[in-house]
């Protein structure tokens, strides 16, 4: 006791030591049932994994539902996409329209001078054909503006232009004869 | 040191070439967006079908089912997918019925101020119809094929390549700037052509043809009669022999060509045969273009 008084700093430590010693005798033996403990752990683990399975399933269902909804949107339901290769065609066409305009001016100019040939039925019929063909070309150009420069339409226009050139040439020959 | 520099330049050159090739390939590739519309249209006996097509491919064929099956594809093409998708909206269609007539139509619709499409737009009809359905097709710019109909068919086309195959009732065709090809047809064919090429092969029945500025080719052994008036239209006709038909051919301001060995009159713009019997008559008149008669069998047998 005198030591305790002499060394006040040691008092709490000694008290604690004594208390522990007394507890050593009073404390029950630490023991557990290992099998029961493992069962408990397994139960808890199984419960957790069940929850995760439920969460995963819910997410999957949500994703599937979202995909189904997305593919059922009317605007995209009947659309399909593909790719096709095409030939590059040079657009640098020579503009020969001035030659045709020259030829037509030549015909007009000569017919103003009251050439007999200009009053012949065949000549008149050819000129009417020429006007009709020009109307066809105008219509085809409208189609090209609407549907694009598709080979089918370009082919039709070429066909008419060839015919128009042929008729223009015939008219020039008739005027010259 | 030089070697390393050379490798660097080489790698750079190859990379640039690869880039250029990729760019060129991208320019040569068209993105195609297709909107597909499918319908099953109920059919009653006596119904008819009117198809009004523009810049379209039309395929109509007969089947044994009692409804009309329609697959309509509206197609837009452009190098850029976004442009192709946007321009697809210009293609519109109508499906309806007035009285007994089912009506199908495709057309172009744009906003005010529209100038020109950047890509290519087209439509494709695929129709399967009951054989007894009366079909009328009006089409401009495109192609059309009608096969196996057992009822009258009427076609009015401009700049269309048209095929009529195995149509068993009457056919009425009006074509302006087109190619018309009829194969294995039956009944009465009434054909009106302007600046078109026409081919009639294996037609069993009568045919009436009016043609202006074109070419007509006839290769049919089962005709029960043919009347043709041509204006500046060249005609080529094939027959088994001279006994198959009564021929009355006239090419004003041009010639009628016949196989060697056939006796002819002085006027080479006319050719006529006077066979006894019930052979059908083929009468063809044209102007400024020739008529050519070809015989399958030896002339000496005629």
**Contact criterion met (CB < 8 Å) for B33 and A145:** no
**Is residue B37 a contact partner of residue B72, using CB atoms and an 8 Å limit?**
yes
Closest partner residue to A80 (CB to CB) among B36, B120, B195 is: B36
Min Cα distance B184 → chain A (Å) is: 27
Distance, in Å, from the CA atom of B244 to the CA atom of B242, rounded to the nearest integer, reads 6
Instruction: Tell me the per-residue pLDDT of B28-52, one tens digit each, with 9 for 90 and over.
Output: 788 999 999 999 999 999 999 999 9
Distance, in Å, from the CA atom of A154 to the CA atom of B240, rounded to the nearest integer, reads 40
**Is residue B117 a contact partner of residue B135, using CB atoms and an 8 Å limit?**
no
Residue A45: per-residue pLDDT: 65
Chain A hits for B177, Cβ within 8 Å: 136, 156, 159-160
Q: Please report the number of interchain residue pairs, chain A to chain B, with beta-carbon separation below 8 angstroms.
A: 78
The torsion defined by the Cα of A108, A114, A116 and A119, in degrees rounded to 10, comes to 60
Distance, in Å, from the CA atom of B168 to the CA atom of B159, rounded to the nearest integer, reads 25
**Contact criterion met (CB < 8 Å) for A147 and B33:** no
Min Cα distance B238 → chain A (Å) is: 28
* Interacting residues of B253 by C-beta distance below 8 A, sequence separation 6+: B269, B287, B288
Instruction: Tell me the per-residue pLDDT of B53-107, one tens digit each, with 9 for 90 and over.
Output: 999 999 999 999 999 999 999 999 999 999 999 999 999 999 999 999 999 999 9
* Interacting residues of B134 by C-beta distance below 8 A, sequence separation 6+: B47, B48, B49, B151, B152, B153
DSSP B48: E
**Is residue B144 a contact partner of residue B58, using CB atoms and an 8 Å limit?**
yes
- By a Cβ cutoff of 8 Å, what residues of chain A touch chain B? 78-88, 136, 140, 143-150, 152-153, 156, 159-160, 163
Distance, in Å, from the CA atom of B180 to the CA atom of B197, rounded to the nearest integer, reads 6
**Contact criterion met (CB < 8 Å) for B29 and A150:** no
A168: closest CA among A96, A115, A114, A112? A96
Q: Which residues pair with B181 in a beta bridge?
A: B163, B199
pLDDT in tens, chain B (302 residues): 556 666 666 676 666 665 555 555 555 788 999 999 999 999 999 999 999 999 999 999 999 999 999 999 999 999 999 999 999 999 999 999 999 999 999 999 988 788 899 999 999 999 999 999 999 999 999 999 999 999 999 999 999 999 999 999 999 999 999 999 999 999 999 999 999 999 999 999 999 999 999 999 999 999 999 999 999 999 999 999 888 899 999 999 999 999 988 877 788 999 999 766 789 999 999 999 999 999 987 655 55
Q: Which residues pair with A138 in a beta bridge?
A: none
Distance, in Å, from the CA atom of B144 to the CA atom of B44, rounded to the nearest integer, reads 25
ipTM of the complex: 0.76
Percent of chain A predicted with pLDDT > 90: 20
Min Cα distance A62 → chain B (Å) is: 29
Test mutation, A147, A151, A154, A159, chain B, max B CBs within 10 A: A147
User: pLDDT at residue A2 above 50?
Assistant: no
Distance, in Å, from the CA atom of B267 to the CA atom of A28, rounded to the nearest integer, reads 142
Token code pair at residue B266: 């002085």
Token code pair at residue B114: 């529209």
Place of tokens 């294996």: B202
Residue B143: per-residue pLDDT: 96
Distance, in Å, from the CA atom of B24 to the CA atom of B34, rounded to the nearest integer, reads 24
Chain A hits for B121, Cβ within 8 Å: 146-148
Test mutation, A148, A153, A166, chain B, max B CBs within 10 A: A148
User: pLDDT at residue A76 above 50?
Assistant: no
Token code pair at residue A101: 């305009």
DSSP B219: E
Task: Give me the phi and psi of B18, to 5 degrees please.
Answer: -60, -40
Token code pair at residue B81: 């997918």
- pTM over 0.80, yes/no: no
**Is residue B122 a contact partner of residue B58, using CB atoms and an 8 Å limit?**
no
User: pLDDT at residue A74 above 50?
Assistant: no
Closest partner residue to B116 (CB to CB) among A87, A145, A152 is: A145
Min Cα distance B5 → chain A (Å) is: 37
Place of tokens 């044994």: B64
Per residue, the 3-state secondary structure of chain A, as one string, reads CHHHHHCHHHHHHHHHHHHHHHHHHHCCCCCCCHHHHHHHHHHHHHHHHHHHHHHHHHHHHHHHHHHHHHHCCHHHHCEEEEEEECCCCCCCCCCCHHHHHHHHHHHHHHHHCCCHHHHCHHHHHHHHHHHHHHHHHHHHHHHHHHHCCCHHHHHHHHHHHHHHHHHHHHHHHHHHC
């Amino acid at each position: 006791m005198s030591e305790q008084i002499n060394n006040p700093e040691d008092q709490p430590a000694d008290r604690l030591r004594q208390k522990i010693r007394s507890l050593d005798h009073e404390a029950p033996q630490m023991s557990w049932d290992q099998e029961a403990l493992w069962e408990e752990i397994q139960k808890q683990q199984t419960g957790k994994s069940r929850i995760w399975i439920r969460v995963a399933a819910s997410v999957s269902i949500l994703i599937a539902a979202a995909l189904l909804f997305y593919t059922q949107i009317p605007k995209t339901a009947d659309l399909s996409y593909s790719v096709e290769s095409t030939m590059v065609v040079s657009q640098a066409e020579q503009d020969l329209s001035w030659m045709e305009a020259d030829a037509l001016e030549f015909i007009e100019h000569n017919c103003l001078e009251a050439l007999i040939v200009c009053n012949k039925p065949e000549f008149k019929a050819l000129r009417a054909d020429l006007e009709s063909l020009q109307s066809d070309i105008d219509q085809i150009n409208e189609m090209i503006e609407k549907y694009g420069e598709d080979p089918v339409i370009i082919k039709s226009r070429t066909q008419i232009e060839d015919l128009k050139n042929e008729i223009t040439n015939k008219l020039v020959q008739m005027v010259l004869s | 040191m030089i070697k390393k520099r050379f490798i660097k330049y080489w790698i750079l050159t190859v990379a640039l070439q690869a880039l250029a090739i990729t760019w060129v390939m991208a320019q040569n590739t068209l993105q195609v967006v297709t909107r597909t519309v499918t319908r099953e249209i109920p059919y009653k006996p006596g119904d008819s079908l009117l198809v009004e097509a523009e810049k379209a491919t039309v395929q109509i064929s007969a089947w044994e089912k009692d409804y009309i099956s329609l697959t309509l594809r509206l197609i837009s093409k452009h190098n850029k997918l976004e442009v192709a998708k946007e321009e697809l909206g210009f293609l519109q269609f109508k499906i309806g019925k007035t009285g007994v007539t089912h009506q199908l139509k495709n057309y172009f619709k744009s906003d005010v101020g529209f100038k020109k499409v950047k890509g290519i737009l087209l439509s494709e009809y695929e129709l399967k119809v009951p054989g007894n359905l009366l079909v009328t097709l009006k089409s401009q710019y495109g192609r059309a094929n009608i096969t196996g109909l057992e009822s009258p068919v009427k076609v009015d086309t401009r700049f269309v390549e048209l095929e009529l195959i195995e149509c068993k009732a009457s056919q009425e065709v009006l074509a302006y700037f087109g190619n018309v090809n009829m194969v294995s047809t039956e009944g009465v064919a009434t054909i009106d052509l302007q600046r078109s090429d026409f081919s009639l092969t294996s037609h069993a029945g009568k045919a009436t043809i009016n043609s202006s500025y074109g070419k007509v080719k006839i290769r049919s052994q089962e005709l029960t009669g043919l009347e043709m008036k041509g204006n500046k239209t060249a005609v080529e006709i094939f027959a088994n022999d001279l006994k198959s038909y009564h021929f009355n051919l006239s090419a004003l301001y041009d010639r009628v060509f016949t196989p060697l060995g056939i006796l002819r009159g002085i006027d080479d713009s006319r050719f006529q045969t006077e066979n006894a019997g019930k052979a059908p008559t083929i009468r063809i008149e044209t102007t400024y273009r020739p008529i050519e008669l070809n015989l399958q069998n030896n002339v000496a047998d005629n």
